[in-house]
Structure 1
Amino acid sequence: MKPYLVELRRSPLRWWFPLLVALDLAALFGRSRWWIGEWAQTSVQAQIPSFYFAPVLAAAAAWAGGRSARHNLHDQMDSASRPSWQIQAAQLSSTLTYGLGAYLVGVLVAAATSWSTAGPGFLWPGYLVLGAALLVTFASAGHLVGSWSRTQFTAPVLVGLGSLIAIAWLGDPTSLGLYVLAGNPFTAASLPAVLARSALALAAFLVAVTLTRRSPLATEGGWPNPARRTGTVVCCLALVVAGAGLVATRPVQVDRAAPGKPLCTSGAPALCLWPDDRKYLSQAEAMGERVRQLPQGLFVIPDAFYEKGLRSDEQYRFEDFYILEGSMWDPAQSLAGSILTASRPKNCPLPDGARFTQDYVQSSGELMMWLAMRIFGGGRPPEMHGGPPGVDLDAIAQVIHRPEQIQLEWAKQRIDKIQHAYCG
């Protein structure tokens, strides 16, 4: 304990700790704020700062780990009364204390921010453990490189840049899954994946404190300490096994079981949400009312619409909606697509491919966007771009502000073209 306390007092991170906290909070609130009020999204958002300052922590660990080499202290460490690995562990632990401490401050701030609006539940620990494992893994790598380096600044800079590239290139959810970017209610962190990444962090820590440079005097005649040699080999093997487990436990997020009773709006059609998304219930109620206000007789309206994951049947995978980054625009598009699918002619044979002309594709795209904008409540959010090929979204946005009769005539023209494509 005494070496650890000494390292805490000597660590330069004691002066940089407020900056680490500021970096964590900037990543927490600077990226977005739509996560506030949802425990799953809050948990992911609290984890996200870890991959922003993991490179900083790796560079700091490399700087601290290289102190012995820069000052030629290997002889003193190898002849000390305490084993070398204990001294290294105290040094690395002090660096991690400041890094994980800043991370914990961000977690607590995120929890406090969502507490009053998120409803029952709390932070999801799996996502938070992922962030902590990422910090420990890269800080350990930085310490290992630093302990073998004699340069004061080159090693920390290279480690920091290398960590940044490694996290961006290999760490994303589609690669090694060292972190996640979204906390949709229909997915959760896989327990095997979390355990594998925690094992990797532990193995990296053990390798970092055992596989260190020794003094020339201690290395004369080979490795005189069999216990140290065995321990180092075991730790390295553990790191290899943990790395294999990392690959074997992808993806890091898996589907959740649907709740027994979803949260649905009143009236028909109903919009059903995951209970975790209760903050969107009032917006869903308004969307349901706008669906009921669509022109009578033109469309077939399903009895209910469901958020993704509430219906496990594979046939609903592309019909059910999900809420992207707090916006109801994507649900509006999904509802519009479901309405068009339900409204297709049922009394005509399936058309051959030749009937699906550009005119049909254009009409279907325009009609779907018109429905989506009406369901959404007028226009589309400015941050949302793209749409069906060849469809002018700005022109559609102008149509929905015209008198109802003009809109009906516009819609009927496109419905007739779709009818012709199916029935000839």
Structure 2
Amino acid sequence: MKALWLHVRNSPVRWTLPVFVVLDLAVLFLRSRTWIGVWPETGAAAQLPAYLMGILVAGAAAWAAGAPSRHRLGEQVSASRFPPAVSEGHRLASTIIVLVTPYLTGQIVAFVITARTFPPGVHLFLGYAGLGLFVMLMAVALGWACGLLLDGQVFPALTAVMGFFLLAAALGRTGSIVLTGPPESTVDPIALTLRLGLVTALMLALIWLPATDRDRPSGRKALVAAVAALPLVATVVGTRPVVDREQPGTNVICLDGASKICIWPEHEKYLPQLQELNARISLLPATFVPPPLINEAGITKTRHIGPDGKEYISYGGGPPIFYIFDGSPWSYADDIGNAINKSTFGFNDDQNCDWQELSQSDQERIWAVDKWMETYLVGDGAPDYQTDASNEMQVAWSKGREIASRARVDQFRWAEQEVRDVRARYCQPGR
């Protein structure tokens, strides 16, 4: 242990520790703070800095691995009373401690902040924490391999930086980088355990590579490293770290009202806002027909057999759903408003309504009602999102939002008239 501590104190990358701590906390707090109070969102936010820091960590690990070669200490290493693998293990372990500590610091800070209210779902946080730890260890392993196998003062570090950058870009294109932590998803413990085991095996293989003669890296070293890395690469490429959770059954939180709104227990933080929204639904004119039940995504799913004979799971056939993105009331108000308007207009009532003949002018009126409903359910304010919708759609949306700024009695009079007029054109009387 004394030898390990000595390596930590003299690590060539020890100066990066405070820099990486600041970087981790900056990404955690400056990107968004809506994760506070929700365990899965806290876990996803706290592991995200690993991908940014991983680029720099890979370069720092390569720099640390190549230190004996740069300082021409091969003979001293050979003459050490410790076996080469033990010395290599001390150097690698000290590098891991220095480079992973900033990430763990961010995890602790995020945990403490959300633990003040300690909502349900702390196990989801732990899964994301483990996923970020794997990313950091993978960056260290990549950098260490580059430092051992490549010649040059700076070339190994640059190769490691570019290598991890390209790896992260590839993972981003395949959707493997976790950006948010919705409660309907969880880190697969089997996939995570397999990844952590394989990256550990890779680092053990790097430790047992010959620790001397660094000025002439052999093909055997590269071959051993490649063979050890192959299972890890195959696992990262071929498996999904995040999977859908099982349906919660009765373990949900529901709000009664004109519509029964149910959410995951991990999202109890949003109950006050949803209660206010549900109260606004109850005030809508009788012309509007809210669905009896609206669920947060993932609470109920429908299993069906596809044309290929495989079983698929979807939300079709069940009650309407809504999402909560980054705590934004506009995200769930849009989904819930669309569900109310869909039920009110009868868009699924093909027996009594013919929406195939919908004119462009009436479509624009429906768009206006949609955005009026969204803004009304939120309460007030401007949308917190941007869109590239067509000019016609945005003009209609602007009209609906302008209506929402008027007196409530005027809003309801306009909305009722629009619904009755448009529905009368395409639905049979009495619908």
CA distance in 2, matches of 1:244, 1:10: 36
What is the SS of the residue equivalent to 1:370? helix
CA separation of 1:236 and 1:2: change in aligned 2, threshold 3 A: farther
Q: For 1:111-161, what per-residue CA distance to the aligned partner results, in whole angstroms no more than 9, with x for missing partners? A: 111112243453522111111111111111111111233433333234224
User: Which of 396, 399, 403 is 1:399 aligned to?
Assistant: 403
CA distance in 2, matches of 1:104, 1:160: 21
Task: Tell me, yes or no, if structure 1 residue 241 matches structure 2 residue 244.
Answer: no
For 2:253, give the aligned amino acid. L
* Equivalent in the alignment of 1:198: 196
What is the SS of the residue equivalent to 2:285? coil
8 Å contact kept, 1:147–1:212:
no
Deviation (angstroms), 1:71? 2.5
Which shifted more, 245-254 or 205-214?
205-214
* Equivalent in the alignment of 2:128: 127
Which shifted more, 275-284 or 260-269?
260-269
Q: Where does 1:308-387 land on structure 2 (aligned, <5 Å)? A: 308-313=297-302, 314-315=315-316, 319-345=320-346, 346=349, 348-349=351-352, 351=354, 353=356, 355-385=357-387
* Equivalent in the alignment of 1:175: 174
Deviation (angstroms), 1:320? 0.3
CA separation of 1:30 and 1:347: change in aligned 2, threshold 3 A: closer
Q: For 1:236-295, what per-residue CA distance to the aligned partner results, in whole angstroms no more than 9, with x for missing partners? A: 434212322223322533233324231112433222111111111010100000001112
What is the SS of the residue equivalent to 1:325? coil
Q: Where does 1:30-179 land on structure 2 (aligned, <5 Å)? A: 30-78=30-78, 80-122=80-122, 124-167=125-168, 169-172=169-172, 175=174, 177=176, 179=177
CA separation of 1:218 and 1:184: change in aligned 2, threshold 3 A: closer
CA distance in 1, matches of 2:318, 2:297: 7
What is the SS of the residue equivalent to 1:315? coil
CA distance in 2, matches of 1:116, 1:65: 41
8 Å contact kept, 1:287–1:375:
yes
What is the SS of the residue equivalent to 1:114? helix
CA separation of 1:217 and 1:375: change in aligned 2, threshold 3 A: closer
Deviation (angstroms), 1:198? 1.2
Task: Tell me, yes or no, if structure 1 residue 390 matches structure 2 residue 389.
Answer: no
CA distance in 2, matches of 1:409, 1:72: 84
Q: For 1:173-212, what per-residue CA distance to the aligned partner results, in whole angstroms no more than 9, with x for missing partners? A: x6272x4111111110112321232134213313432345
CA separation of 1:20 and 1:404: change in aligned 2, threshold 3 A: closer
8 Å contact kept, 1:47–1:131:
yes
Deviation (angstroms), 1:380? 3.6
* Equivalent in the alignment of 2:242: 252
CA separation of 1:269 and 1:317: change in aligned 2, threshold 3 A: closer
* Equivalent in the alignment of 1:300: 289
* Equivalent in the alignment of 1:226: none
CA distance in 1, matches of 2:398, 2:171: 38
For 1:401, give the aligned amino acid. S
CA separation of 1:253 and 1:142: change in aligned 2, threshold 3 A: same
Deviation (angstroms), 1:62? 1.0
User: Which of 260, 265, 272 is 1:275 aligned to?
Assistant: 265
CA separation of 1:157 and 1:237: change in aligned 2, threshold 3 A: closer
* Equivalent in the alignment of 2:311: none
CA distance in 2, matches of 1:20, 1:324: 28
CA distance in 2, matches of 1:359, 1:251: 47
What is the SS of the residue equivalent to 1:37? coil
For 1:309, give the aligned amino acid. G
Give the alignment's TM-score, normalised by structure 1.
Answer: 0.87
* Equivalent in the alignment of 1:187: 185
For 2:369, give the aligned amino acid. L
CA separation of 1:5 and 1:171: change in aligned 2, threshold 3 A: same
CA separation of 1:190 and 1:203: change in aligned 2, threshold 3 A: same
* Equivalent in the alignment of 2:252: 262
CA distance in 2, matches of 1:350, 1:42: 46
What is the SS of the residue equivalent to 1:295? coil
CA distance in 1, matches of 2:222, 2:394: 63
Deviation (angstroms), 1:235? 6.3
Q: Which runs of 5+ in 1 are unaligned?
A: 224-228
* Equivalent in the alignment of 1:413: 418
CA separation of 1:199 and 1:410: change in aligned 2, threshold 3 A: same
Q: Which runs of 5+ in 2 are unaligned?
A: 303-314
Deviation (angstroms), 1:310? 1.3
8 Å contact kept, 2:261–2:293:
yes
Deviation (angstroms), 1:47? 1.0
CA RMSD of aligned residues (A): 3.0
Deviation (angstroms), 1:422? 4.2
Aligned residues: 411
